[in-house]
Chain A
Amino acid sequence: GQQVMQIPQYQHVQEGEDFTTYCNSSTTLSNIQWYKQRPGGHPVFLIQLVKSGEVKKQKRLTFQFGEAKKNSSLHITATQTTDVGTYFCAGLRTNAGKSTFGDGTTLTVKP
């Protein structure tokens, strides 16, 4: 079945450093979504990417969708303590009724 792999599993950074998490699918995706889950909270939708090679930005966050629509990345510039949490990607395969979530990357930021 479809698998969505996310790396790294954990990332510890100093405040102000950059952070990147990568998402890779074994099959071509219709779209990919990114979610953030704060400690003790629930996943919250951040963004959806649909087009091949698409790049979207939200303030310090940059999201990319690969040309082959099999991989994606989330980059955070100059991390802040408010960025801590687990970031999940969720890939939707063509004609599938549901997205498949990756295992998430847990980010901790040392002030």
Chain B
Amino acid sequence: DAGVIQSPRHEVTEMGQEVTLRCKPISGHDYLFWYRQTMMRGLELLIYFNNNVPIDDSGMPEDRFSAKMPNASFSTLKIQPSEPRDSAVYFCASSSTGTGDNEQFFGPGTRLTVL
């Protein structure tokens, strides 16, 4: 298995632009998580899905952030318009209730820089 796939790996954009981050979870996993990591705030859970349905989006900073999961193999996190304070590493992770440990498998992350 290729693991969790995220794209792009790096994104540099200008303030005000729309940014779309993509994630392909591990096949068969029924949970998908989006995290943001910064030096100041650490690892923050933004939103998570179960069977493609958003369960908890209380971590989404504001209306500029939106996430979708149109099917079991794809999710997007969109920021519109982007701001410099959105600069961070964004991780996608997936897990399965079918496995004993329910461990989360993290993707390599997308490093976002908003100028």
Whether B55 contacts A97 by the Cβ 8 Å rule is yes
Closest approach, in angstroms, between the C-beta of B101 and any C-beta of chain A? 4
Instruction: Decide: A43 near B56, CB < 8 A? Known: A33-B101, A48-B102, A97-B50.
Output: no
Judge if A99 is at the interface, Cβ distance under 8 Å.
yes
Q: How far is the CA of A44 from the CA of B91 in the complex (A)?
A: 12
Instruction: Decide: A101 near B43, CB < 8 A? Known: A42-B91, A42-B109, A43-B91.
Output: yes
- Residues facing B in A74-90 (CB within 8 A) are 88, 90
Write out, one digit per residue, whether chain B residues 92-115 have a CB within 8 A of any chain A CB (1) or not (0). Answer: 010000000111111111000000
Instruction: Decide: A43 near B107, CB < 8 A? Known: A97-B56, A98-B48.
Output: no
Q: How far is the CA of A92 from the CA of B31 in the complex (A)?
A: 14
Whether B56 contacts A98 by the Cβ 8 Å rule is yes
Q: How far is the CA of A92 from the CA of B56 in the complex (A)?
A: 15
Q: DSSP majority for the B interface? A: strand
Whether B105 contacts A88 by the Cβ 8 Å rule is no
- Residues facing B in A45-89 (CB within 8 A) are 45, 48, 88
Whether A99 contacts B104 by the Cβ 8 Å rule is yes
Whether A103 contacts B42 by the Cβ 8 Å rule is yes
Complex contacts, A42 vs chain B, CB 8 Å = 91, 106-109
Judge if A91 is at the interface, Cβ distance under 8 Å.
no
Q: How far is the CA of A104 from the CA of B55 in the complex (A)?
A: 25
Complex contacts, A104 vs chain B, CB 8 Å = 42-43
Whether A48 contacts B108 by the Cβ 8 Å rule is no
Closest approach, in angstroms, between the C-beta of A56 and any C-beta of chain B? 12
Whether A45 contacts B42 by the Cβ 8 Å rule is no
Write out, one digit per residue, whether chain A residues 11-38 have a CB within 8 A of any chain B CB (1) or not (0). Answer: 0000000000000000000010101000
Residue of B nearest to A98 (CB): B48
Q: How far is the CA of A35 from the CA of B55 in the complex (A)?
A: 23
Whether A45 contacts B45 by the Cβ 8 Å rule is no
Complex contacts, A98 vs chain B, CB 8 Å = 31, 33, 45, 48, 55-56
The 9 closest A-B pairs by CB, nearest first: A45-B103, A42-B106, A48-B101, A103-B42, A43-B106, A101-B43, A42-B109, A98-B48, A97-B55
